[in-house]
Amino acid sequence: MLFSELSGNLADVCPVGALNNGPFAYTSRPYEMLSKRSIDLMDSMGSNIEVDYKENKIMRISPRVNESLNEEWLSDKSRQAFDGLTRQRLRVPLIRKGADFAENDWEDALSYIASKIDKVDGRDIACGIGEFESVENIQALKDFLNALNSFNYEFRHNANLSIPNNFRTDYLFNSQIEMIEDADVILLVGVNPRLETPVLNSRILKAINKKKAKVFSVGTPADLTYHYTHLGNTAAVLADLASGKHSASEDLKNAKLPMMIVGHDVLTRGDSHAVLNSTRQIANAYKFINAEEGWNGYNVLHRSIGHVNALELGLDFKPLQNKPKVIFLLGCDNNIAPEDIPQDAFVVYIVKY
């Protein structure tokens, strides 16, 4: 039985059409659909995609060729997740009436929201930002709240998530995706690229096949579809690597183009700052950042593109301040726990689909 996060690509490469995209097969003909270029939001890689739609319904999502990013591949989740848009899709504003929701027109709904906002101070207004939000959506909401004198944002998906954002290099995937193939040693820290970013994981496999790259992992062991050396799952391993005491230190020292990928799990630890400090010490000690070669092999891999977009706009990781009386949720389903929302708060849920 085939177990793969990239199995949908078999339908794309099948030369005779014997393998088909199951959900799409026999539902439409290509000339009946229109296409739009877009960006995949299912992980933080931002693969290029093509969205084919008929009238107001998305029929299929296919990879768009971009050799420097996803080449011609796409993960199964990105390819098939759109079917959720056909069920319980919000098409008109809904206002809660008791235990149920009643449909309203846009003018009445916006007037109702405005009446609630007018009664509160800007400091009592907050917002939650979801994991799939684009830079444009976040900026629009940010400008709107700032105009109301509100600067209270929450976009973490874990209460313990913490990462310094003074410099962009602290939270970005600094290497170009295609440069993974040039790395001769890859150090994975608290990350499972197979599950988090399957297309990126295929690049690591290419580095192994193309350059015989050695892959080391610190964290929970997992089947990544290729051979790697598991060094352990404690922060002490990173300290030993930084000091040169670990047996793998020699491999890092001899590497010409080493690369490190720090995962989301590291950022949610209580000692995340200490662990990140160890990863930077390793990066400095073994030339993961080499200006002479134009090489920056220190990377942070997030699980959601919304995190990166919010950080790019200068938002800080911080919990909701005070007890807000009005809360805007921009595609935010998991960020804020129900107990964090006061019983008397007015909640506006915004979904962009």
The string of DSSP codes covering 162-204 is ----SSGGGTSB-S-GGGGGG-SEEEEES--HHHH-HHHHHHH
What pLDDT, on a 0 to 100 scale, did the predictor assign at position 352?
Answer: 67
Closest Cα to residue 6, out of 179, 223, 201, 206? Answer: 201
Contact 262, 283 (CB under 8 A): no
Number of Cα atoms under 13 Å in the Cβ half of residue 204 = 26
Question: What's the mean pLDDT in 78-102?
Answer: 86
Strand segments (E) across the chain: 34-39, 48-54, 57-63, 94-97, 100-103, 125-129, 153-154, 185-189, 214-218, 229-232, 258-262, 289-290, 295-296, 298-300, 326-330, 346-350
Q: How far apart are CA 224 and CA 4, in angstroms?
A: 11
Beta carbons of 198 and 47 less than 8 angstroms apart: no
Q: Which CATH number fits domain 168-303: 3.40.228.10, 1.10.1060.10, 1.20.1560.10, 3.40.50.720?
A: 3.40.228.10
What is the tens place of the pLDDT at every residue in 274-320?
A: 999 999 999 999 999 987 888 999 999 999 898 899 989 988 777 77
Each residue's pLDDT tens digit, 320-336: 777 899 999 998 887 67
| pLDDT at res. 353 | 57
Read off the tokens for 125: 């207004």
Mean pLDDT for the chain?
Answer: 91
351 confidence band (pLDDT: 50, 70, 90): confident
pLDDT value at residue 266:
93
Residue 72 in tokens: 């011609």
pLDDT at residue 112, as a whole number: 94
Per cent of the chain over pLDDT 90 is 66
SS3 sequence, 232-290? ECCHHHHHHHHHCCCCCHHHHHHCCCEEEEECHHHHCCCCHHHHHHHHHHHHHHCCCEE
Tokens of residue 131, six digits:
């994991």
Mean pLDDT for the stretch of residues 258-270: 93
Beta-sheet pairing, 34-39 with 289-290: unpaired
Q: What is the pTM of this model?
A: 0.91
Provide CB contacts within 8 A for 95, sequence distance 6+: 101, 102, 104, 109, 112
pLDDT digits (tens, 9 = 90+) for 187-215: 999 999 999 999 999 999 999 999 999 99
Question: Residue 275 and residue 281: Cα distance in Å, rounded?
Answer: 10
pLDDT(79) > 80:
yes
8 A C-beta contact, residue 262 and residue 190? yes
Question: What is the C-alpha separation between 17 and 115, in angstroms, rounded?
Answer: 57
The mean pLDDT value for 42-49 works out to 93
Mean pLDDT for the stretch of residues 143-156: 90
Q: Where in the chain is the domain with CATH 3.40.228.10?
A: 168-303
